[in-house]
Structure 1
Amino acid sequence: MKKILLVILVVAVALLGACSSNIAQSKSVSEKAVKKIIVGTGTQFPNICFIDEDGKLTGYDVELVRAIDEKLEEYEFEFKTMDFTNLLLSLETNKIDLVAHQMEVNEERQEKFLFNKVPYNVFPLQIVVNENNNDIKSLDDLAGKKIVTTATSNAAIFIEKYNKEHNLGAEIVYSTTDINNQLRTGRVDATISTPFAADFNNKYADAQQKVVGESLLNSNVFFLLQKDSTTLSDRIDEALIELKEEGVVSALSEEWLGADYSVEF
């Protein structure tokens, strides 16, 4: 009887050990299967990617990436913040895997990088001036004026091209940190931005801005990836389609941008 009990005990211990080993092995495999994706974004784009009053990185692009992260179990998304002008270089040198910063398509970016296929919102560009400026109402009114913008942005590319092709004689100033102050103090006459950024700046930074004229450009925006990241790009598109169908993308746009900019052109 004692021998039988001893055999049963040995078998039970062996089974328990094997079970524990299988669980550990399964856990190890599961952990290895999760791939970390470094997401490059900024901290100074109102309502898009910024640090809130509690010191938290948030905004439309940030929260959308977090929603995508919840959909894709095989990936873990981790943010890395930097100046906008460093994002493309960081992607090109493999320091990040993905850019989330309202990236619009242009030829230079298409040559070097991969855009996902499903746009996640529309980016409207308009002229923004000081609220007391009644002289500038259209692009032609920018002739001979100082225009501040962020280097390499689509706003910069647009105004550089228009300035050259239409002989505006405008002076383009590049900045990322004190655009609000430059407009408020009259050191520059205008910038090219979005209505939701102007609203945010007025609410939280007393920017004293207003949007004038018609929309200059409405572009679909995408995430930007390395050329060979087709699998990740496809999975992001699948997640975006689901999030759009569930109303999550529209809700985030309403929350952060003040309107539903998720409808693509």
Structure 2
Amino acid sequence: MKKALLATLVSAVTLLGACSSNVAQSKSAGESDVQKIIVGTGTQFPNVCFIDENGKLTGYDVELVRAIDEKLEEYEFEFKTMDFTNLLLSLETNKIDVVAHQMEVNEERQEKFLFNKEPYNVFPLQIVVNENNKDIKSIDDLAGKKIATTATSNSAVFIEKYNKEHNLGAEILYSTTDINNQLRTGRVDATISTPFATDFNNKYADAQQKVVGEPLLNSNVFFLLQKENTTLSDHIDEALIELKEEGVISTLSEEWLGADYTVGF
């Protein structure tokens, strides 16, 4: 097992200042056989990648990457945080090597990037509304409603496509930081999210939300890399298989997501 990351994150600002933008570079002159891998992630995804009350970057995806880092002695993984909307551009321009942010497969991403082969959890997308909303019970009830989502996310891709193909007539609004407030104050009628994010928002942000209807999607989740980075992808898959067999991934899922979302692969 490899040693832990070189430094514990104390804040997102400190992290951003410390991270390198070089791709797969050697860690140091004295340890030239160890490659530094820059992992792009966010700070606003409840239970997945966020800054806790102690200023530490943590969550399911973050702790899984740290477990993979322990497995792969030939690499050293270092986090670089940014807004979700900047992750794909940073990967495309080689500012980061891997995206760890519950990345689901869609055609646009497949054309440009490489997904590793071994999924690390299932991502359930459902409709989320204010707890007092009694009118919206299914996706068809979103006809003519205002729906908040994050641009470029799979939630956005899904609802944009459904809205167009089913003539839903919904107004889709894009936001990254105040969807909870928009739902609470009635400026929007719904969002597309996950049960574990909803539970987190209710517990820590008094979001007053509830999940309604059947799951819209149950997509496998992967890491995202540059097309040519197949060797790193294969090594990540090897580590994931070991971690699954050891029960580590199921334990992390139960700890951070509230249930074992590794079932159903």
TM-score (norm 2): 0.89
Summarize the alignment of residues 245-264 of structure 1 with structure 2, pairs less than 5 Å apart: 245-264=245-264
Unaligned runs of 5+ in 2: 1-27
Q: What is the match of residue 130 of structure 1?
A: 130
Deviation at 1:92, TM superposition (A): 0.1
Summarize the alignment of residues 1-265 of structure 1 with structure 2, pairs less than 5 Å apart: 31-265=31-265
Partner of 1:204, secondary structure, is: helix
Deviation track 1:140-160 (CA, whole Å, cap 9, x = no partner) reads 100000000000111001000
Unaligned runs of 5+ in 1: 1-27
Tell which structure's C-alpha radius of gyration is larger.
Answer: 1
Root-mean-square deviation (CA), in Å? Answer: 1.0
Q: Quote the Cα distance in structure 1 between the aligned partners of 2:82 and 2:29.
A: 33
Question: Residue 165 of structure 2 aligns to which amino acid in structure 1?
Answer: E
Partner of 1:133, secondary structure, is: coil
Partner of 1:181, secondary structure, is: helix
Deviation at 1:44, TM superposition (A): 0.2
Equivalent residue pairs, number: 238
CA pair 234-30 structure 1, distance change in 2 beyond 3 A: farther
Partner of 1:50, secondary structure, is: strand
Q: Quote the Cα distance in structure 1 between the aligned partners of 2:87 and 2:238.
A: 24
Deviation at 1:263, TM superposition (A): 2.2
Tell me which stretches of 4 or more aligned residues in structure 1 moved more than 2 Å: none
Deviation track 1:84-132 (CA, whole Å, cap 9, x = no partner) reads 0000000000000000000000111111100000000000000000000
Question: Residue 96 of structure 2 aligns to which amino acid in structure 1?
Answer: I
- Identical amino acids, percent of aligned pairs: 90
- Structure 1 contact 119–264 (Cα < 8 Å) conserved: no
CA pair 181-29 structure 1, distance change in 2 beyond 3 A: closer
Question: Residue 210 of structure 1 aligns to which amino acid in structure 2?
Answer: K
Question: Residue 136 of structure 1 aligns to which amino acid in structure 2?
Answer: I
Deviation at 1:30, TM superposition (A): 6.3
Deviation at 1:262, TM superposition (A): 1.1
Q: Quote the Cα distance in structure 2 between the aligned partners of 1:164 and 1:85.
A: 22
- Structure 1 contact 45–197 (Cα < 8 Å) conserved: yes
Partner of 2:32, secondary structure, is: helix
